Every structure is written in structure tokens, then in C-alpha cells.
Structure 1
């Protein structure tokens, strides 16, 4: 006979609870038909575990219950790579009776009279164990082993609650396993928001993919997932959301403040998000929130240069819109002293207008306030292009004195000198040449030469016609 008693479990499970003394009960059965058996219980970690009885006597073919006690309450489960275990030893007891001291002496003497009947592993189960595993992320190498045991002590409701924590932590492994073990993927948080929202907030695209593959749904009117992703500058999350939920998600949806996802991106300066929305059909940059602010207002107020540039590329006229306080984006930038935005939002336009009408004083004021002397309009024209084309020689002088580039090329490749020549302004052309402008910047093979009598004494000025349509009234 290789053993005298048999345990009713292959593994003892303790339902762990933080800071509490935890216990569990198991039974041993005497396999002997006619003789009582003495039993001794020990653990691999006696400082951590104890029993309600270390030594006992089990009558023939009878059972006895034992309580394992986690005698040191703690804030985290005492998990170890080598699980603790109970060792069960037994010895035949012909008399059927013995005092505790007698039993202690019996098992203290080695010999063939003592049987090592069982080694029962101890595992910790329940939601508190899984909470601990979630909090540790992937710092525990044996996390899969601990999880597979701990999950057996959880109800479906507990698993669904734990799923929220796993999603927030960004642990795709635990999210997958909680769902596989029965967690409700469409469980909501206290505010009625979906697991997808929690994953977006955590910024974990792998968890999002797990949830989507498991059938997680969203309610766009509550979740506002695009707003959250835009606030985080996560184009990858936005693309996945739009691709997956294209039939139930609105890229122009507004939150309680009347703001779209682009409002959120603009207020934080997330130019990449704005560019993505610009390339995505249907996304609008001209929606106003409850305060009458467009995304451009918010970007300007917060001084976000790249965001302002992107928004102006989407819609140039929006810079003239006013909010409920009657303020344009430029006014808000001035209020916050964001001088680097002045040219884009207003001064650049004012400088272009002043150059066109030869308003020297207006140009000087614009330049003094922060207008860029080499700033460009939608066609790539600088103020010098415009002054040269109009033949405004005083304006040309002022612009050059303030650092205007005489050979700046517009979007079609034309310089201020070419603009002056095609419009017949010889004095301006000569002034530009005197300031270092190159006379031959276009190949004669590309465009037909313009022959003007006024340039017959200056053959080097024969250039090619610019697009007159570029000049705006």
C-alpha cells in the first residue's frame, strides 16, 4: 500500500481578500477498512499558513475536515513562482487513540511507518487576485498561470467588472482571457460608456482590436470616442474607429459644449488630427460651439501655430468669423499675446492689401505689428510680388528695406521681377535688378517671350508672362 489517506481535492483554493484572514477547507479520507490512521499536516511556508489541527486521527473508512488559514493578512496575494503546498503524512494507528504529544513524536521519527500520502498545491482565487494581476500589468512572468487559477473564484458579474479595470490598464492578454471566461464585453461604466471608450481613453489600440473582435458596441451619443481620440492626438485610433463604426459614428458629432472632434484637436494643437480629418470626406472645420467659437478660434486662443495653418488650409474665410463676444481668431490671439499668429490671421492680408494700393504707412504699421514681409497668399505671392505687379515703387522700396526677398518665386515659379516686366513697370524692374534680382529666371523654351517697347533698351528684362488671373482686385 502506497498511501493510507486520500484528499478530496487536487489543489486547495483560498478565496483571497485584501487585508483579511482567509481560510479554506478540504477533507481527507481514511482508505483503511479496519484500522485508524494518524495524520500530520505541514506547509512549505509555515510562517504564512496554519491549520486548525496539525495532527489528527481518522477512523477506518471515515473522513475528516481540515481548515487551512492564511494567517498573515496582506494587501496583495502572496503569489510565488513555486506555489506553496500542503504535505500530508500518515501512519497506521492500531490502538485508534493517542494524545497530541504522542502523534507529534510519531511523525518526528523517520522510518517506514510514516507514509507521505499527498502534496496538495495551494492557489489563490477570486477577484482580488485578478485585480492585483491587472495592477501589475505584465510584471509577473507567471501571470497566465496565476490568472487561470484565480478566475475560477469569480462570478460573471465580477469578471465583467474586472474587465473595465483590465481595459483601462491596457493589458490585452487579460482582456482577452476575461472575455473568454465570460466577462460581458458590452458592460458599461457608471456613466453608461462602453468598453471601447475606456480603451480609447487608455490609448491602447490592441485592446480596442480585442474588444471590436469580441463584438463590443458603442453609443456615439454617449461615448464620444472620436472626441477623446482627437484630444489625445491619436490618428491611429480615429482611423480604426471610423473604419469599424462607420455606420454608427458621426465625425461631426458635438459634445455637451457643442464641440466637434476637430474643436478638441484644435484647442490642443493637434495638427495631425486636423490634417487627417481634412483628408476625410465630410469632416467640417466651420462648426461653431456654444460660445460661437470655431476650431480656428480655439487654436488661435491657445497659440497653436501648426493647427492654425491646417485650419486656414481647410477654410481661409473662417478667419473672419466672430464668436459670441464679437471676436475673430486674430482678436483672441492678440488677447493672449500670441504674436506668432498675427500674420497668418490678419496682418498678412492687411500687408498684401497695403502693398497693392501703395499704402506705405499701412505697410510699415503691419510690419511693426508682426506681419511677415515674405508671407505668401493662397497663390504664393508675397507683398513684393503684388507691389511689383502694380508698379508701386515706394512700396517695393519699403518691402526691400524690411527684408523682402527679391527672387522669391510664387506657386507657378514667377518672381517679383517677372511680375513687374509683364505689367510694364520698367522703373520697378530696374530697382529690383539693382537690388540683386536675377533677370533670366525662366527658360525661353518654356514660355513665349514678352516684347515690350519700354524694355528695348534693357533686353535682359525680356521675360515671360505671369498669370494675370492671380492678381485679385
Structure 2
């Protein structure tokens, strides 16, 4: 004989509700024609599960119902393999036995005890899926548990769960929920698509899955390129651009009139800016405050971003925002000295040195300008001051640590510049501060030791290779 009783189910399905007791009922039928059968029910997790009757007697060819109960919990006790109801039986010739007699009989193993059934316990309902979304359960275990849990959910519940799964980054859960009826075009409470949620959470796999499943976006609400820009995710930008390349999304604006490049500039996301520029985005776009991306990068002190934007635009360096401020002015206002030179302070220092504005020199250096910063020709402020014969400028610059023997792209030192322009006093001051009179430029120019008498002959003699900057 294989068994004494038969269950009406192959597994016990229990709808799990967070924080509440759950219960389900199943039936056992006595297969014996003339003999009563005693039944014992048990589970591994006896602290969580219980039965309305652990021991009972079923008359011949009769049936009895049993209720499995679970204790309140914040999460289902998911195990692999899952817990199960173990059904043990034994024949009762007299058809009667009290509870204690049955306990003693089932406590003694032997041929009189039959193990008639093992009924796995499955948990159903949205709270189980919520747990799977928030937990680290992965792979085939998740698939098995998810398939059971989904059967206890309505279409609306699956759609709500799909929103959470899209944010979680678990593409397998997203796929299963869509397959079972979750609405891929569901909108969150702010009217945003699931694609927006996936991009904002930085989930590339989920993004690609949603795109392939037909999820649609609304450009007036779904600022997906902006979300990707804020996290410097070029991979997300590329995936979006492949689908929406025929729209104006790459230069679309949010509620503040900001493009994705503006957002990248705020966060210092230089890689995304380079991508946007490569596909035609404008570096000179203005937001509602008439701020360019450079204004925002300067305000945040993002040096790499500032330099990237300066390479892309000749205009934005001088653009004024709604308050009439340049990017440089915002950098000063927000105490971002690391970007001063790149923006304008180096220019201001060179100009002050060139015109002999000693107070301007001190102010620029005090604000963070590099006293040895070079322009596009390799000239430092000291080169400028020496070439123009501004003795006090030279003296102040040297006092702030200007390198007296620094050379430009053609090998010229400040002393070369002073000699070529015929500024004897400046030349002598430089020599007195360590300038080497016997240095040669890359073009072979040299100065002899008789500099004091020779300089007067060179006054006004300008080499064509040295061009005064405006």
C-alpha cells in the first residue's frame, strides 16, 4: 500500500499579507475502506506555522479539512527548498484514540507510521513580490517564488509592483511582471513614465527592457536626458539617443529652461557634456535666468567642466546672465578660485601687468590668479609687464613669486622682452632678481654682459615674432 490518505492539493498556497495572520485550508481523504486512519501534520518552521488540528482521526472513506495558519510577519519566510506540510498517517483498528495516545504513537518511528504526503507551502500576493524586489534573492530561486506570488495578484497590483521593480534595477522581475499583465505605460504620481524612473535610478538593463517592451515617454514630463546627465551616465544617454535621436530631446528643456548640458554642468559631469556636444547639442543654450552651462559650472567650481565648455564656445565666457554676471563673476561670488584662471582672472592679471595697474595685479593674485599663468603664446604676466616697461608691475610680480627666467613658446624670457623693447630699467631690475643675461631664445637671440650700454640702442626694436595681445 502506497498511502493511507490523499490530499486534494499538490501544494498548499498561502496568501501572505504583511503584518497579518494568514490561513488556507486543504482536505485529506481516507483511502481505507474499513479502517480509520490517524493523521499527524507538521512543518519545519513550527514557530511560524500551526494547524487547527495537528492530530486527527479520519473514518474509512471519509474526508477531513485542515487549516494551515501563519503568524504575523513583515516578510514571508521564503526558503529553498520551500517549507512543506508533512502528512504522516497510521491505522487505528479501533477507530478511536485520544490526543495523547496519538502523540505517543507518532513519536515512535517504525513500520506502523506512513509518510503519505509532502505538500510544499507557496506564498502568494503582492507583498511577496515587494519582498523579492527589496531583497537580494536572485536567479532561479526568484523565478520560482515570483511565479507563485504573481498568481495571487490582480492586474492593477502587478502594475504598481512594476513601478517599484523598475526603480530596483531587477530586470528579470520587470520582465516577468510585464509578461503577466503589468502596464508598461504606467505613470507615477507625477505623471512620469517607467523609463524616467529607470533612468533616474541608473538602471541600464531595465531601461533597455522597457524600451523594447514599448514603453513611451512624454517629453513635457519625462526629462530622461536630464536624469541621465545628472549622474554622468553616458551609457544611458547613448541608449536614449538611439531611440529618440529624431526628437529634440538632447536639447530639450526642463521647467527651469535647462538643457541636459546645463544639468551636467551643475553636477560637473564632463563626460556627458562631451557626448551631448558630439551629437549636436548647443553649449550656449540659456535657461530662464539667461545662464549658460558655463555659468553653472563656474558657480559649482567644476574645473574640468569649465575647460570643456570653454573649448566648445567662444561666446559663453563673456555672456551675461539675468543679473548681468559673467561666469567668472559667479566663480568669484561663490569662492571658486580653482576656475579663475580658466575663466578670466588670468586675462585680467595680464592686462593689469601690461598697463601698470599695480592694485589690479595685487587684487587678481589675491583672488587666486596664477602669477605664472601663461596665455596662448606662452607669455606670463611678467613677460607682458617687461615688454611694456612697467617697472612697478615687474617689481610687484617678482614680489609675488613670478618666475624671472620663464620662457614662452619661442624661448623668450621676460628679460628678452625688456631688451627688445628697449626698457633698460626693467632689464636691470630683472637681472638684479636673477635673470640670466646669457640665456638664448629658441631663435638664437642672446644678450651680452654690456647690457646697460647696449639697451639704449635697442629701444623701440620689436621682433616680429612677438605680438602684443589686445
Q: Same fold (TM over 0.5)?
A: yes
Q: Aligned runs of 1:111-190 on 2, under 5 Å?
A: 112-138=111-137, 142-190=141-189
Does 1:22 find its partner at 2:22?
A: yes
More divergent stretch after superposition (388-397 vs 284-293): 388-397
| Residue equivalent to 1:5 | 5
Q: Distance in 2 between matches of 1:21 and 1:431?
A: 93
How many Å apart are 1:336 and its aligned residue? 3.1
In the TM superposition, residue 358 of structure 1 has moved relative to its aligned partner by: 4.2
* Structure 2 runs not aligned, ≥5 long: none
5 Å matches for 1:213-252?
213-248=212-247, 250-252=249-251
Q: How does 1:305-344 map to 2 (within 5 A)?
A: 305-344=303-342
SS of the residue corresponding to residue 24 of structure 2 reads strand
Q: Map 1:448-467; keep pairs closer than 5 Å.
A: 467=465
Which has the higher mean CA deviation after the structures are superposed, 262-271 or 27-36? 27-36
User: How many pairs does the alignment contain?
Assistant: 459
* 1:189 CA drift (Å): 1.6
Are residues 407 and 235 of structure 1, via their aligned partners in 2, closer, same or farther at CA, if it must alter by over 3 Å?
farther
2:299 corresponds to 1:301: yes
Report SS of the residue matched to 1:415: coil
Q: What does 1:267-282 correspond to in 2, within 5 Å?
A: 267-278=266-277, 280-282=278-280
Quote the offset at 1:128 in angstroms: 0.8
Q: CA deviation at 1:193?
A: 1.5
> Secondary structure of the residue that 1:10 maps to in structure 2?
coil
Q: How does 1:40-51 map to 2 (within 5 A)?
A: 40-51=40-51
Instruction: Deviation per CA, 1:307-355: give whole Å up to 9, x if none.
Output: 3333333334423322222333333333334444444444322222233
Name the CA shift for 1:248/1:160 in 2 (closer, same or farther; >3 Å): farther
Whether contact under 8 Å (1:406, 1:415) holds in the other structure is no
1:372–1:42 Cα change, 3 Å:
closer
Query: CA offset at residue 156 of structure 1?
Result: 3.5
**2: CA distance between counterparts of 1:418 and 1:216?**
69
Instruction: State the alpha-carbon separation in 1 of the partners of residues 9 and 28 from structure 2.
Output: 9
Further displaced range: 372-381 or 29-38: 29-38
Q: How far 1:60 moved relative to its partner?
A: 5.4
Q: Deviations over 1:190-224 (max 9, x none)?
A: 22212222222222333333434444333333121
How far apart are residue 364 of structure 1 and its match?
Answer: 4.1
Counterpart in the other structure of 2:264: 265
Q: 1:319-398 residue pairs with structure 2 within 5 A?
A: 319-390=317-388, 395-398=393-396
Distance 1:331 1:358 in 2: 23
Question: CA 1:403 to 1:150, structure 2 compared with 1: closer, same or farther past 3 Å?
Answer: same
CA RMSD in angstroms comes to: 3.9
Task: Return the offset for 1:120.
Answer: 1.0
1:232 deviates by 2.1
Cα distance change on mapping 1:13 and 1:386 into 2, 3 Å: same
Q: Work out whether 1:194 is the aligned partner of 2:193.
A: yes
What residue is the counterpart of 1:90 in the other structure?
A: 89
1:276-332 CA-to-partner distances (Å, cap 9, x unmatched) read 434x24222322222222223223333334433333333344233222223333333
- In the alignment, the residues of structure 1 paired with residue 111 and residue 199 of structure 2 have an alpha-carbon distance, to the nearest angstrom, of 64
Q: Is the 8 A contact 1:388 1:417 kept in 2?
A: yes
C-alpha separation between the residues in 2 aligned to 1:28 and 1:139? 35
TM-score (norm 1): 0.81
For the residue of structure 2 that corresponds to 1:175, the secondary structure is helix
Deviations for 1:135-163, whole angstroms, at most 9, x for unmatched residues?
Answer: 12348994444334333323333233222
* 115-124 or 208-217: bigger deviation: 208-217
Q: Following the alignment from structure 2 to structure 1, what is the Cα–Cα distance between the partners of residues 428 and 178? A: 78
SS at match of 1:220: coil
Post-superposition Cα deviations, 1:29-50, rounded to whole Å, max 9, x if no partner, equal 3434566544433333333222
- How far has the Cα of 1:56 moved from its partner? 4.4
Relative to structure 1, the CA distance from residue 337 to residue 104 in structure 2 (aligned partners, 3 Å threshold; closer, same or farther) is: closer
Instruction: Look up the match of 1:420.
Output: 417
Q: Is the 8 A contact 2:415 2:430 kept in 1?
A: no
CA shift, 1:23, in A, is 0.9
Secondary structure, counterpart of 1:301 in structure 2: helix
Distance 1:113 1:370, change over 3 A: closer
Shift of 1:14: 0.7
Distance 1:197 1:387, change over 3 A: same
Maintained 8 Å contact 2:265/2:294: yes
Equivalents in 1 of 2:414, 2:108: separation in Å?
111
